[in-house]
Structure 1
Amino acid sequence: MKIKLDSVVKTFDTFRAVHGVSLDIESGELVALLGPSGSGKTTILRMVAGLEFADGGHIYFGDEDATNIPVRDRGVGFVFQHYALFPHMTVAENIAFGMKVSKRKRSPAEIDRRVDELLALVQLSGLGERFPAQISGGQRQRVALARALAVDPKVLLLDEPFGALDANVRRDLRRWLRTIHDELGITTLFVTHDQEEALDLADRVVILDKGKIVQQGTPEAVCRSPDNAFVMRFLGDANSLKAQVRSGKAEVEGFAYEAPGLSDGPAEVLFRPTDVRWTDERGSGISARILRVLDRPGSRRVIATTEGGQMVEFDASAQFPHRREERGFLVVDQPRIYAAG
């Protein structure tokens, strides 16, 4: 099922949460909505589900305008962060619930067969008679997914599905969810603020800020070619140095980087800690002084300051020979230069 958002707007009282978002999600695609708190990602998901209605624009499921269709008639499966399981029902009863109240009538035997299939799919065979309190958090989230899949949804929606779980369980469930998606091929939209989760799982990542899409693309595209300083900072550690652009060059404390296409004026040079080298070769980079060398398993993190007092952190090998107060030069291998906001 293809999903299309066409200039969708949502306002709460005087606060506009979503500013004219347009997005196409292909049938069978797994798309992550990624952004900080307040960026509009959960509001978009709830509008797709029918739990919130748009104040402007349209939402299409295939060729059908679903903007004002009630949630129970949209054919979506929804998985919440905190499971939302019925504590007084067994695992099997939780999974069966949606089928029992659905407009599509199924016999008890058909429901039982489907529950057994889903328990096997989510690797919980034999646990159907347990109650939610008797299984782990990771298992409860699998039950929540099985319940969402029980109604044969056209679209699967997940709102921070692993946010309540510890790091190791989250990693395991991410891999498992990707396997399930590849097997079933259901169009899936999920919300997360966890960059690693989005990059590991999604076919395409949609990055939001203040209710607007600021970039979308494959995980490789958004990581390797950030469109702006916000994306660069949001997707990982980033150093930032103040610069001045003059005639296609960005000058930082006497050292210049190529900046084709940028207008003259203030700018910033952003780069990852992995994209910096330390050298004693004068003229090859920005003059700096080492403040601290922090040891890590298998590597070192170096904190330095430029002559102008700008801080830079970079990663070095465990054999990095330099020490506090030594002077040298910072060589930036992949600088990204943006006009100052």
Structure 2
Amino acid sequence: MKIRLDNVVKTFDTFRAVRGVSLDIGSGELVALLGPSGSGKTTILRMVAGLEYAEAGHIYFGDLDATDIPVRDRGVGFVFQHYALFPHMTVGENIAFGMKVSKTKRSQAEIDRRVGELLGLVRLDGLGNRFPGQISGGQRQRVALARALAVDPKVLLLDEPFGALDANVRRDLRRWLRSIHEELGITTLFVTHDKEEAMDLADRLVILNEGKVVQEGTTEEICRSPNSAFVMNFLGDANRLAVTVTGGAADLDGTRIAAPGVPDGEAELFLSPNDLDWQPGGAGVPATILRVMDRMQARRVVAVSAGGRTLEFDVPPETSVRAGERGHVAIRNARVFAAG
């Protein structure tokens, strides 16, 4: 099922949460909505679900204008961050609930058979008679997904589904969710604050700020070609430095860095830690190492340039570096944007 948002607007009191958003989501596509708090992610998801109504614009499911269709009739499955399971119902009864209240009547035998299929799909065979309080958080989230899938939704909506879980469980569940999506092929819209989660899961990313789409594309397109200082800063883990551009290049402590298309004047320079190399005797920005922090797959180095700029970068774990060592930071790639 294709989804199309056409210039959708939503205001709460005097705050405009969504400001003319247009999106096309292909049939069977998994799209992640990313952005800071207040950027409109969850509001868009709730409008697609029918839990909020757009005050302007239209929402289409395929060729059908679904803008004013009630939530019960939209054919969507919704998974929330905090499970929203009924604690007094067993796992099986939670999964069956949507089928029992649906307009499409099913026999008890059909419902039981579908519950069994979904328990197998979400790898919870044998747990149908347990209550939500008797299973782990990760298992409860699988039950929530099974319940959403039980009504055979045309569209699956996920609102921070793993936000309440610890990092290791989230990592396992997102891999599992991706395999489920590939198996079922349901058009899925996914809201998360976790950039790594979105990049692992989604076919395409949509980055929002202040209720507007600021960039959309594949993970590769957005990571390799961020279109603004906001996107670069939002993606995080980049050195952000104020510089001056003259004649198509930025100056960093005497090192000239190409800034094509950026007008002369104040600008922001972004340097990814992966695009910087430490060279004890090579060319680059003169610097002194302040601190070395070991990670599982790398060593994070904090250095200060001769001009007093702090730079963070990664080196292979076997690299011998220590605080106080002097050398040069070589820049392999950089992005420069005009200031504010």
TM-score, length basis structure 1: 0.95
Find the aligned partners of 1:324 and 1:206 in 2 and give their Cα distance: 40
The answer on whether the counterparts of 1:289 and 1:326 sit within 8 Å (CA) in structure 2 is: yes
Query: Are residues 14 and 108 of structure 1, via their aligned partners in 2, closer, same or farther at CA, if it must alter by over 3 Å?
Result: same
Instruction: Report the CA distance between 1:280 and its aligned residue.
Output: 4.7
The answer on whether the counterparts of 1:298 and 1:317 sit within 8 Å (CA) in structure 2 is: yes
- How many equivalent residue pairs? 340
Find the aligned partners of 1:162 and 1:322 in 2 and give their Cα distance: 38
Find the aligned partners of 1:138 and 1:150 in 2 and give their Cα distance: 19
Query: Are residues 293 and 68 of structure 1, via their aligned partners in 2, closer, same or farther at CA, if it must alter by over 3 Å?
Result: same
Q: What's the counterpart of residue 133 of structure 2?
A: 133
Q: How does 1:208-223 map to 2 (within 5 A)?
A: 208-223=208-223
1:313 and 2:312 are equivalent in the alignment: yes
Instruction: Report the CA distance between 1:2 and its aligned residue.
Output: 0.3
Secondary structure of the corresponding residue to residue 37 of structure 1: coil
1:254 and 2:254 are equivalent in the alignment: yes
| Structure 1 letter corresponding to 2:226 | P
Query: Are residues 294 and 151 of structure 1, via their aligned partners in 2, closer, same or farther at CA, if it must alter by over 3 Å?
Result: closer
Q: What's the counterpart of residue 232 of structure 2?
A: 232
Instruction: Report the CA distance between 1:136 and its aligned residue.
Output: 1.1
Root mean square deviation, CA, Å: 1.5
After superposition, what is the alpha-carbon deviation per residue over 1:264-315, rounded to whole angstroms, capped at 9, x for unaligned?
1111211111211223557x32232222233444542221112332211111
The answer on whether the counterparts of 1:9 and 1:56 sit within 8 Å (CA) in structure 2 is: yes
Q: What's the counterpart of residue 167 of structure 2?
A: 167
Find the aligned partners of 1:151 and 1:34 in 2 and give their Cα distance: 27
Find the aligned partners of 1:228 and 1:69 in 2 and give their Cα distance: 37
Instruction: Report the CA distance between 1:319 and its aligned residue.
Output: 4.5
Find the aligned partners of 2:215 and 2:93 in 1 and give their Cα distance: 42
Instruction: Report the CA distance between 1:44 and its aligned residue.
Output: 0.6
Instruction: Report the CA distance between 1:251 and its aligned residue.
Output: 1.7
Find the aligned partners of 1:2 and 1:296 in 2 and give their Cα distance: 42
> 324-333 vs 307-316, which deviates more?
324-333
Find the aligned partners of 1:205 and 1:43 in 2 and give their Cα distance: 17
Q: How does 1:200-211 map to 2 (within 5 A)?
A: 200-211=200-211
Find the aligned partners of 1:105 and 1:299 in 2 and give their Cα distance: 57
Query: Are residues 123 and 321 of structure 1, via their aligned partners in 2, closer, same or farther at CA, if it must alter by over 3 Å?
Result: closer
The answer on whether the counterparts of 1:178 and 1:201 sit within 8 Å (CA) in structure 2 is: yes
| Structure 2 letter corresponding to 1:10 | K
> 109-118 vs 192-201, which deviates more?
109-118
Query: Are residues 118 and 293 of structure 1, via their aligned partners in 2, closer, same or farther at CA, if it must alter by over 3 Å?
Result: closer
Q: What's the counterpart of residue 180 of structure 2?
A: 180
Instruction: Report the CA distance between 1:141 and its aligned residue.
Output: 0.8
Secondary structure of the corresponding residue to residue 290 of structure 1: strand
Find the aligned partners of 1:299 and 1:169 in 2 and give their Cα distance: 23
Q: What's the counterpart of residue 118 of structure 2?
A: 118
The answer on whether the counterparts of 1:75 and 1:154 sit within 8 Å (CA) in structure 2 is: yes
Q: How does 1:1-341 map to 2 (within 5 A)?
A: 1-280=1-280, 284-297=283-296, 299-341=298-340
Secondary structure of the corresponding residue to residue 200 of structure 2: helix
Instruction: Report the CA distance between 1:322 and its aligned residue.
Output: 4.5
Identity %: 72
Instruction: Report the CA distance between 1:215 and its aligned residue.
Output: 1.1
Secondary structure of the corresponding residue to residue 39 of structure 1: coil
Find the aligned partners of 2:77 and 2:236 in 1 and give their Cα distance: 31
The answer on whether the counterparts of 1:75 and 1:153 sit within 8 Å (CA) in structure 2 is: yes
> 327-336 vs 191-200, which deviates more?
327-336
> 43-52 vs 227-236, which deviates more?
227-236
Secondary structure of the corresponding residue to residue 47 of structure 1: helix
Find the aligned partners of 2:288 and 2:187 in 1 and give their Cα distance: 52
After superposition, what is the alpha-carbon deviation per residue over 1:228-271, rounded to whole angstroms, capped at 9, x for unaligned?
12222222310022221112111222221111211111112111
Query: Are residues 323 and 121 of structure 1, via their aligned partners in 2, closer, same or farther at CA, if it must alter by over 3 Å?
Result: closer
Find the aligned partners of 2:298 and 2:179 in 1 and give their Cα distance: 33
> 76-85 vs 104-113, which deviates more?
104-113
After superposition, what is the alpha-carbon deviation per residue over 1:21-57, rounded to whole angstroms, capped at 9, x for unaligned?
1100000000111112211101110010000111211
TM-score, length basis structure 2: 0.96
Provide structure 2 residue ranges, at least 5 long, that are not aligned to the other structure. Answer: none
Query: Are residues 319 and 155 of structure 1, via their aligned partners in 2, closer, same or farther at CA, if it must alter by over 3 Å?
Result: closer
| Structure 2 letter corresponding to 1:219 | T
> 288-297 vs 264-273, which deviates more?
288-297
Query: Are residues 197 and 90 of structure 1, via their aligned partners in 2, closer, same or farther at CA, if it must alter by over 3 Å?
Result: same
Find the aligned partners of 1:250 and 1:168 in 2 and give their Cα distance: 41
